[in-house]
Amino acid sequence: MVRHHPLRATRSRAAAFVACALAATLVAAGTTPAYAAADDTERPTAPGAITVVAIDTTSVELTWAASTDNVGVVRYPVGARFEDTGAQYSTDTNSIRVTDLRPSRTYTFSVWALDAAGNSSVSNPTLRVTLPPGDEQPPGAPGQPVAYTVAATQVSLRWAHSVDNVVLDRYEVFRVGAGGALTLVREVSQYPPVNSTQISGLTPNTTYTFVVRARDEVGNLSPLSAPVTVTTLPPPPSCSVRSDVRQWPDGFVAHLAVKNTGTTAINGWTMTWRFWASQQVHGIWGAKVVDRPNNSYLRVGNTGRNAVLPPGGTVSLALVASGTQLPQEITLNGGLCVVADE
């Protein structure tokens, strides 16, 4: 025979009443109980179309028709995108004021709804908003360009950044022609900021003048930089190479004979060849080490006694080094030498 304890039953009923009352209070206050959120798999409806309430040069206030949900919407994430960059904001109402924007930029805004269980609605239709112009000040002039690499058909330039009161959009690099005519040869985007460029397709042994101008996002133009004048190098010489190499397990000695097969004398030369970063030069004769470009090559230059290499002339040098990468892809003043027949 099972006996029901009247007091225990009364307490159980009272507890259930309190729980129901608490749940009702939470729902009335807009808070979803944890057990209800855990059982909620229904996503909110999409927010209504976004409309602009107010706008100035650096901010915009947006609103939209509220989403509906079987339990309750807890917040609205808001996305703002400009070109390839974006930010996300959040609000618990159906409006938001987004600040710290840039004048004249076009932003794309999107809104979606989340409930307490984490169910997300689909986004509403995006809205593109262009902020009014707010920048009438042009950037300062860029620094005078410096040619830090000069070859026969290309030049690398860099310059000090312009200063702008808002934000730079790009640099424009011009070639200065006869009578001061400007020809645009390169545009350098400022996302991320860059203050250098490489200009290719030039003619060997030719003098060029370049200037740089800055443009901000509104289209204000800076003054032109001071000019830089550069003369490209002569075309690379033609050459051939003979090599005699003796190897051991972790090193070698190489004798190289490089011949000027062109018709023009060479006065001052450099040579490069394959050379791994882990390799070390133990000795070199007939040349001196200049540097190791890209940690994949060794560059050497002439000594005071063999700078001139006449047509048909040959320069000889020897190298003792560690490693197993032998001299290959040998160049003379940028021209790739062919391997001579034995």
pLDDT digits (tens, 9 = 90+) for 177-211: 999 999 999 999 998 899 999 999 999 999 999 99
162, 141 Cβ separation under 8 angstroms: yes
For 239-339, the fitting CATH number among 2.40.50.140, 3.40.50.170, 3.30.300.30, 2.60.40.290 is 2.60.40.290
Topology (CATH level 3) of domain 146-231: Immunoglobulin-like (2.60.40)
**Where along the chain do its domains lie?**
51-130, 146-231, 239-339
Cα–Cα distance measured from residue 338 to residue 42, given in angstroms and rounded to the nearest whole number: 73
Tokens 């022609």, residue located: 177
162 vs 188: CA distance, rounded Å: 13
Residues 330, 287: contact at Cβ < 8 Å? Answer: no
Decide: 266 and 236 in contact? Cβ < 8 Å.
Answer: no
Are 146-231 and 239-339 the same fold in CATH? yes
pTM confidence score? 0.52
Mean pLDDT across 252-278: 95
* Residue 100 DSSP code: S
Pick the closest to residue 75 from 35, 128, 27, 111 (CA basis): 111
| Beta-strand pair 168-176/182-189 | antiparallel
Alpha helices (H) along the chain: 6-28, 34-38
Residue 53 scores a pLDDT above 50: yes
Euclidean distance between CA atoms 277 and 329, whole angstroms: 16
Beta bridge partners of 281: 321
Instruction: Look at residue 133 and tell me whether its pLDDT is greater than 90.
Output: no
Domain boundaries 51-130, CATH class = mainly beta
